[in-house]
């Protein structure tokens, strides 16, 4: 049974509607995790460190998909809530066409500058060659990756989150199977891992593109539309928080890697890679819930249904808190087995990773509120507040903590940095939620 944006959402209906987005984000996160597992266990920690070193740069180039997806879907959903269905179709189409043009441009520029960027990040010798090889293959599929990120949000706005989930499962399964074949069987190392990921991204981006180009039963379809600067600017402004979040996380990851090279060398970068893989999956639950619920918030905000807006905010907060407690408990219980999956072949690296895991797991108690708070203001079409929360959370607080804490606590200070940043961010997020309550009537 299809759930429409205009309906009243109980806890059960909210979870049913957002579950496909949650699973979709988890599967998307698994792409990198599977790469890391096979590269680490079949190619060794040097190539594993190379993948983790260059990955933040590759993610930076793909952030435009998150920006147009979250900002655009909020604008499209609000427009539909106002009863302007044809205008919503045109906005949706403009954003997809602009993403394709920008994706091709970024792909070419990324390939050109990949080697000097890898060297600037500290790669040299064989690690440098591995970074360049992995990065060039991934960048060839960048346009599809951008579309994949974008369509994750638009499938929800189109009231077809189950289709978004199906596409992501297909792409995720393809990635896992090809990783096992290319890296585990053929032993192609980082090239095999990159080919597997690129193939899955092409599937994840092109299948939805074909779906929306053809007549379909959803409320959205790609139509003829000229590019309007005002529309693109509104979507960019509104989605700037999600772009800032992903951009900042990538930049901060580079800084973390630099600090870890200083305090722990190659082992530190490898341990951080394991933490990031697990974080991707755990955080994907919060992100999926936020992405899945955002179009509903936008619709009722556009329709001026304040009672439903209040209900959505309260129910989502309760769900976030429950998931936060569960994920913290799981992280503490699974620190050793999860670390062992990736680096069990090296006792020293395993011990370092387990300790880092237990320290960093405290951020799961805090991050959910911050991620939801930023997405909630994006859904309300308040890109400024949303961007400010993301900017402070993912860049300012993180950079300050990772530069200051290691001075006093050395390696443990690096692991504690993310927890401190999330705590400060939660205080800011709660202040904005309280301060904007009267303006938006939630």
pLDDT per residue over 155-206, tens digit each?
988 989 889 889 988 998 999 999 999 999 999 999 999 999 999 999 999 9
Query: How many Å apart are CA 49 and CA 42, to the nearest integer?
Result: 13
Judged by DSSP in three states, 188 sits in coil
Residues near 141 by Cβ (< 8 Å), separated by ≥ 6?
197, 198, 199, 201, 202, 205
Mean pLDDT of 105-116: 96
Residues 220 and 88: beta-carbon distance below 8 Å: yes
Asked if the model's pLDDT at residue 13 lies above 70, the reply is: yes
Mean pLDDT across 269-298: 88
Q: What is the pTM of this model?
A: 0.73
Q: Kindly give the residue spans of alpha helices, DSSP state H, lying in 141-160.
A: 142-157
Segment 284-296 shows an average pLDDT of 90
Residues with Cβ < 8 Å from 31, sequence gap 6 or more?
Answer: 171, 172, 175, 197, 200, 201
Average pLDDT over residues 129-151: 95
Using CA atoms, how far residue 57 sits from 52, 106, 311, in Å, is: 10, 12, 39
pLDDT of 118: 93
> Which string of b and e fits 204-218 if b means at least 16 CB within 10 Å?
bbbbbbebbeeeeee
Return d(Cα 364, Cα 348) in angstroms, integer: 26
Residues above pLDDT 90, as percent of the chain: 59
Please give the average per-residue pLDDT across 214-225, as a whole number. Answer: 92
Residue whose C-alpha is closest to residue 126's, from 48, 33, 42, 38? 48
Closest CA to 28 of 174, 141, 227, 208: 174
- SS3 of residue 382 by DSSP: coil
More confident residue, 32 or 197: 197
Secondary structure string (H, E, C) spanning 121-132: CCCCCHHHHHHH
Structure letter (DSSP) for residue 4: P
Q: What is the pLDDT of residue 233?
A: 87
Asked whether the predicted pLDDT for residue 1 surpasses 60, the reply is no
SS3 (DSSP) at 402: helix
The answer to whether 257 touches 122, Cβ cutoff 8 Å, is yes
Confidence of residue 6 (pLDDT cuts 50, 70, 90): confident
Q: Give me the mean pLDDT over the 296-315 stretch.
A: 93
pLDDT of residue 203: 96
Sorting pLDDT into bands at 50, 70 and 90, what band is 35? confident
Name the residue with tokens 């095999």.
Answer: 192
**Average pLDDT score over the chain:** 90
Opening angle at CA 158, ends 157 and 160, nearest 5: 105
pLDDT band, residue 64 (cuts 50/70/90): confident
- Helix (H) or strand (E) segment spanning residue 334: helix 306-343
Q: What is the pLDDT of residue 32?
A: 63
CB of 92 closer than 8 Å to CB of 222: yes
Look at residue 277 in the predicted model and tell me its pLDDT.
82
Helix/strand number for the chain, H first, E second: 17, 0
CA distance 216 to 39: 40
Dump pLDDT digits (tens) for 325-383: 999 999 999 999 989 988 888 889 999 999 999 999 999 999 999 999 999 998 998 98
Q: Which of the two residues, 421 and 270, has the higher pLDDT score?
A: 421
Residue 3 pLDDT level (bands cut at 50, 70, 90):
confident
Answer whether 47's CB lies under 8 Å from 190's CB. Answer: yes
Are residues 78 and 381 in contact, defined by beta-carbon separation less than 8 angstroms? yes
Tens digit of pLDDT for each residue in 367-403?
999 999 999 998 998 988 988 998 899 889 999 999 9
Q: What is the mean pLDDT of residues 406-432?
A: 96
pLDDT tens for 246-277 read 777 788 888 998 899 889 987 888 889 889 88
- Please tell me the distance from the alpha carbon of residue 144 to that of residue 203, in angstroms, as a whole number: 8
């Amino acid at each position: 049974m299809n759930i429409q944006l205009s309906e009243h959402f109980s806890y059960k209906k909210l979870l049913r509607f957002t579950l496909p987005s949650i699973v979709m984000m988890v599967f998307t996160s698994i792409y990198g995790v599977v790469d890391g597992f096979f590269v680490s266990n079949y190619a060794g920690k040097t190539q594993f460190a190379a993948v983790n070193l260059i990955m933040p740069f590759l993610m930076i180039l793909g952030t435009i998909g998150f920006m147009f997806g979250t900002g655009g879907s909020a604008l499209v959903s609000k427009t539909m809530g106002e009863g302007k269905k044809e205008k919503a179709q045109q906005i949706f189409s403009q954003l997809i066409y602009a993403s394709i043009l920008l994706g091709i441009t970024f792909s070419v520029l990324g390939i050109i500058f990949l080697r000097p960027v890898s060297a600037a990040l500290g790669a040299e010798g064989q690690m440098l060659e591995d970074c360049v090889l992995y990065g060039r293959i991934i960048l060839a599929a960048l346009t599809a990756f951008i579309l994949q990120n974008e369509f994750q949000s638009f499938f929800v706005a189109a009231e077809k989150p189950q289709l978004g989930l199906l596409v992501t499962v297909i792409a995720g399964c393809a990635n896992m199977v090809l990783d096992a074949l290319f890296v585990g069987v053929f032993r192609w190392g980082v090239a095999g891992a990159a080919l597997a990921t690129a193939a899955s991204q092409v599937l994840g981006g092109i299948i939805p593109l074909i779906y929306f180009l053809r007549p379909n039963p959803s409320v959205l379809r790609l139509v003829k539309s000229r590019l309007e600067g005002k529309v693109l600017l509104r979507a960019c402004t509104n989605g700037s928080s999600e772009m800032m979040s992903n951009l900042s996380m990538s930049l901060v990851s580079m800084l973390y890697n630099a600090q870890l090279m200083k305090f722990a060398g190659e082992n530190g970068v490898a341990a951080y890679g394991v933490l990031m893989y697990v974080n991707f999956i755990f955080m994907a639950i919060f992100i999926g819930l936020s992405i899945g619920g955002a179009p509903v918030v936008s619709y009722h905000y556009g329709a001026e249904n304040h009672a439903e807006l209040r209900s959505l905010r309260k129910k989502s907060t309760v769900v976030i808190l429950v998931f936060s407690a569960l994920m913290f408990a799981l992280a503490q219980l699974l620190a050793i087995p999860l670390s062992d999956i990736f680096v069990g072949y090296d006792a020293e690296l395993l011990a370092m990773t387990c300790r880092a895991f237990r320290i960093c797991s405290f951020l799961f108690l805090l991050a959910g509120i911050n991620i939801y708070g930023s997405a909630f203001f994006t859904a309300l079409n308040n890109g400024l507040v949303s961007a400010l929360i993301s900017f402070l959370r993912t860049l300012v607080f993180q950079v300050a903590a990772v530069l200051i804490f290691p001075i006093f606590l050395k390696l443990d200070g690096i692991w504690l940095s993310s927890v401190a940043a999330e705590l400060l961010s939660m205080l800011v997020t709660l202040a904005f939620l309280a301060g904007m309550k009267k303006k938006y009537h939630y």
